[in-house]
Structure 1
Amino acid sequence: MVKISVIVPVYNVEQYLEQCLTSIVNQTMKDIEIIAVNDGSTDNSLNIIKEFAGKYSNLVLLDKENGGLSSARNFGMEHAKGEFISFVDSDDFIEENMLEDLYNLAKKHEADMVVSKIKLYEGSKVTSIIPKAQYTKNILNREEAISEFLKTNITGHAWNKLYRRELFHIGHIKYPEGLLYEDIPTTLQLIAMGKKIVLTEDSFYYYRQRENAITKKISYKAVKDHFAVIEFVDNYIKKLDLDKNTKFYLKEFIVNELSYNYKLLIRYYLFTLNRDKIEDEQESLIIKRCRSINLLKYIFSLRVNKKILLKAILIDLNLYKFYVVRGGKYET
């Protein structure tokens, strides 16, 4: 049985694709299959994949019409045979020992998921490690892992992780198509399905920072989709039987994400200079949603930090837009 299926969704990344695929075919673990899904690329990406497929027998090319990132990931999973699954975005790359080390940790601890730290890569250098702080605990049960997700110590990204493949099948989990920030709800569902999650201090994954990346595009769709993800996380976790600490982290997560959603809205407004009724309605929706979580009770909790306190108060007073526009400095 193949140990790991590595799924690489590809769309118009001819500039970075060779580095990405090279980092995977050169893995120290050889018992892997590499599934490169060409999602209707119009540049030279398809030819680059064909060249690699001709050289490496464990690299499989799947060619499909353009359907988006989630569609490509789901299509790749339909063909995956590995005991575990990992994703690599086609403009990123990984350390040569990533898959072997994550697999060994999974087998050693009988884990359903193993999470690597992330190197932010810009230009030709690493600019930061995420998360920066050392983990307080490396082997987590389901509820502990959900708390770490809400605290963003486990990021919502699909990549930088190794998943037991049966998690997707048992939970009937797929990536939602046509949605930005699609990996956040999916990662949460996978964590909730797992019994044991392992966190490693090693940062094996290089996440390339690109100005034209899909998640950085300024659009009203990004605002709406991000808000929908917040609602999904809130509703999903409320259905789980979790302790008070986790529920507290959920409120902190919502306030953080609502403040970011407001920032997306203001960024869109400043970029387009075309505020209309739709944006006004979204702003009202954000404020109403933030007030609905009983902010006054939340913000006066002794456990909340000053930054969260400021965000919560400003959103509640409909003043967060001024805070965002002035780069995090509250001025009137």
Structure 2
Amino acid sequence: MKPGSSRISQIFREENAKGTDKKAIMLKKSTSSIRSESGFHHAIEALLSLENASVIFMQRLLDYEEIQAAGIRFHEDTVDLAYQILNVQGTLLFLMEQHKIKCSAFIVYTKRSFENILYDVHGTVVLKFVGPSVIMSRMVSRMTITDNDDRLLGYVKEFGKRVNYSVYNARGERLFLVVSNSYIPSSSTPFSILYRGQNIGVIKFGWKHVYHDLPYIDYETTGVEFPADMDEREKALLIGCMMLIEFSWYSPLTKLRLSMLLVGLILASLGIIVIFFPFFVESTTQDPETASFFKVQRR
């Protein structure tokens, strides 16, 4: 655990001592009381693997053979990206796939719809992370988090001129602010996690720069750090926020889109210059003073 994490955990211990948050206690109750809610029951049970975790890594699987070796059972034609979710000890907690979307992914550079499925190590669906199509919604990144039976766990929503996110629970209560203070984040941009105005963690790209000795991550690993004794469902919401940030700003597809956007802007600027430059020259040469200037220059 990194230095200072005990101070972060103390915030949540004090909150629990005051009795303001009972969710962690409810999470560990007997599962017999929610036996009829099979999807929700399995999601809560699977999320117990996040207990005492303070850092979670999201490691991209680079080829289909590697995906199959990791135990994800799907056809490569229906999957855009695949990830494994690890803790800081390197234990595989979950596997995640992103389904390909039929609509164009280049409509509004990083703003695109997606559906991500989180599996446990046995291949059973734990959670779904779904972002609506930008054509049918406002121009804001938003992702809902549900169990396999579409029971809402919470949602993440982008807000502000700079790229910031609000994390809400199923009741619509805002739990966390995830802020970047950047208009266009890059792979070097960290996102701070704020709880009641206090910085309690971070979401960022390239954790190999922090944990040099870990062989199971690389310099393109995205991760989230939060208090170890935080409620597991709240950790799942922050993992969802990490996924949204990864797909919006860190993934290879996004980097390709941003590169294409930059190239498009350059080409558009050159096109405007080529189209309007003759009109500019013609208008300037029609002015007597300017015309005499051009004649002198030609001599």
Same-fold call, TM cutoff 0.5: no
Which has more radius of gyration? 2
* TM, length-normalised to structure 2: 0.27
| Structure with a larger share of its residues in strand | 2
Q: TM-score, normalised by structure 1?
A: 0.25
